[in-house]
Amino acid sequence: MRLPVDPQYLAAPALPDVLPPRKVRGRTMLFVYRHPAIAIGGVLLGLIVLVAVLAPYLFTVDPTALAPAKRTRAPSALYWFGTDMLGRDIYSRVVYGARVSLLVGFAVSAVSSVAGIAIGLSAGFIRPVDTVVMRVMDGLMSIPSILLAIAFMALLGASVPNVVITVSIAEIPRVSRLVRGVVLSLREQPYVEAAIASGTSIPKIIWRHILPNTLAPIIVQATFVCASAMLTEATLSFIGAGTPPNIPSWGNIMSEGRTLWQVKPFIVFFPAMFLSITVLAVNMLGDGLRDALDPRLAKRI
């Protein structure tokens, strides 16, 4: 026997498929209120990325064009950031230099994260691999990263790809040790022990149970690796062991202007300011993601 249907139920309006714009804005503002570091860091980093992508359209000129008659001009309406010792426009060089720093930072973060995940997962589940590989990682970590980067750059030569390879080698041990520590704690969890007892293969356990639980700390670590890579690239370029002099980068600009720092400080000030803002944005984004992804610190929105 079919039960009667309430007419009011049939007349009730259907639930909307999406939230109204007012509720979406409210949830967005609530997220910004609870995680201001993510919002501020994301906005600053997004602006720097936008500047790097739109560099040819931001009233720039050829950053390598020489004009000896216009050298060391102070900032003005014609030269916003002034000119350097060879008459090159510092504003154009700083804007184009953002491409090098961001490229190195993002590339090193991606390479070191992928390699660190592979090494950390292998070391956490395979004891012979752990004994050999992690001792190598400990040896690399015992050497200061900047000295290790200088040594590799002396062997490989100055170029942007070599900077990415060199800095990645210096950052991989830190990521791999983080992943290994997370894997060692996860493999003792009951659901992992149950999967092992049921005969599930090691690759399937890693893919289904271990890897998803390592993504949160890896994402946070990747942001700090990105900031560290940009600082290391600027340091290498500053001492002449990073990107070639013909490629504008923030480290090269500061290196070229250090001899005139006392009389023409603007040559060093503007690239240093952009580097500081970018690193600050990445670190703020990493701190905010750490608080948001940590279940002990996260707040429900």
Per-residue model confidence (pLDDT) at position 20: 61
pLDDT at 18 over 70: no
Residue 42 placed within a domain: no
Cα 285 to Cα 9: distance, rounded to the nearest angstrom: 47
Which phi and psi angles does 175 have, rounded to 5°?
-70, -40
Residue with tokens 């600082």: 231
Res. 1 pLDDT band, cuts 50 70 90: very low
**Helical packing angle, 127-141 and 160-186, nearest 10°:** 130
* Residue 8 is assigned to a structural domain of this protein: no
> Would you tell me the crossing angle of helices 36-53 and 266-293 to the nearest 10 degrees?
130
Whether 2 is in a domain gets the answer: no
In a domain, 49, yes or no: no
Assess if residue 13 is contained within a domain: no
Residue 80, domain member (yes or no): yes
Which pLDDT value is given to residue 9? Answer: 47
Q: Mean pLDDT over residues 2-9, rounded?
A: 51
pTM: 0.82
pLDDT in tens, 175-227: 888 888 888 887 777 777 787 787 777 778 778 778 877 888 888 889 889 99
Count of structural domains, the chain:
1
pLDDT on residue 7: 53
**CATH number for the domain harbouring residue 275:** 1.10.3720.10
pLDDT tens for each residue of 139-164:
888 888 888 888 888 888 888 888 99
Q: Which structural domain range is residue 256 located in?
A: 61-293
Backbone phi, psi, residue 220, to 5°: -65, -45
Q: Is position 55 within any domain?
A: no
- Position 200 in a domain: yes
